[in-house]
Amino acid sequence: MMSTDSTEHEARAAAALTSLPEPPAEIGRLVTAMVTPFTATGEVDLAGAEKLADHLVESGSDGVLVHGTTGEAPTLRDEEPWELLRAVRSAVGDRAKVMCGTGSNDTAHAVASTIRAAEEGADSVLVVTPYYNRPDQRGLVAHFEAVAAATELPVVLYDIPGRTGREIAVPTLVQLAGTENVVGVKDATHDLGKAADVSYATAGAPGGFSLWSGADEVNLPLLSVGAVGAISVAAHLVGPEIAAMIAAFPQDPARARELQLRCQSLHRALFREPSPAPLKAALKARGLPSGPVRPPLANASEEVADGVLEALSVVEAAR
């Protein structure tokens, strides 16, 4: 005779096949890591940021990330991040959530930025692994716990060892998941096995623990191992397709695969030169706010820009 526990387990397993895990309400399933539009002379284009944020929400994003890597956070200065956050918050209103990147390789600075983000109206914060000084896992735990202790906002960790030189190990993620307002991780490791381990090991965390794809080319594979959605770059251009892919996956995986593969060439083209230069070229070509990138980045070459537009045109033709 089947036990009650076994019956409940099978019921949960059956439900998981027809629905995705629920993301935190303060964040959502599809968050676009927004570029920071600049004027031709290099100033932050706040009116352009408002227009672009509105476009993202209308294209299927239920969250917008400002002051992230795609937003050229390393070159935003002084009050610029907060002016940008206020502009985007005003533009999206209650139609979408606003996440703010507050990570740093200086714990005190990350704490101060997180406090300021809450004061300026962010719904959540994204905190990248400290870069360059490459702390060990003990240092990472202390860093992230200090940030989380400074705010009541949901904190999403950002695991991107290719940029930071240090990964967040699975046991470290499990330990941090025990902090109630550390609600998940943006996974840009391209390691599907690790993502599956994280999903399994963090089940039942006190405040919940979600995983978002941080690399568009593996959005669908990450959904298959427990991701709730994506923090996306390509959603600037193909938001409807990515939103539809996420929605389709639980009950129509073949449709989800079709949509993922349709966008795959674009996902790759957007990173043939350092991001967000190729994306900004495409946004400009489609009449959306973008402007140049700030040094030390260089604007996209003509060859790469043409490649992005060619890949994008294939997706647009299928709409």
Which pairing describes strands 210-213 and 182-187: parallel, antiparallel, or unpaired?
parallel
| Catalytic, out of 97, 186, 194, 280 | 186
Residue 186 is a catalytic residue: yes
Cα 64 to Cα 233: distance, rounded to the nearest angstrom: 11
Q: Which residues contact 145 (CB under 8 A, 6 or more apart)?
A: 176, 179
Cα 248 to Cα 253: distance, rounded to the nearest angstrom: 6
| Catalytic, out of 97, 158, 194, 280 | 158
Residue 200 is a catalytic residue: no
DSSP assignment string, the chain: ---HHHHHHHHHHHHHHSSPPPPPTTT-SEEEE----B-TTS-B-HHHHHHHHHHHHHTT-SEEEESSTTTTGGG--TTHHHHHHHHHHHHHTTSSEEEEE---SSHHHHHHHHHHHHHTT-SEEEEEPP-SS---HHHHHHHHHHHHHT-SS-EEEEE-HHHHS----HHHHHHHHTSTTEEEEEE-S--HHHHHHHHHHTTT-TT--EEEESSGGGHHHHHHTT--EEEESTHHHHHHHHHHHHHHTTT-HHHHHHHHHHHHHHHHHTTSSSTTHHHHHHHHHTT-S--PPPTTS-PPPHHHHHHHHHHHHHHHHT-
* Residues belonging to the active site: 158, 186
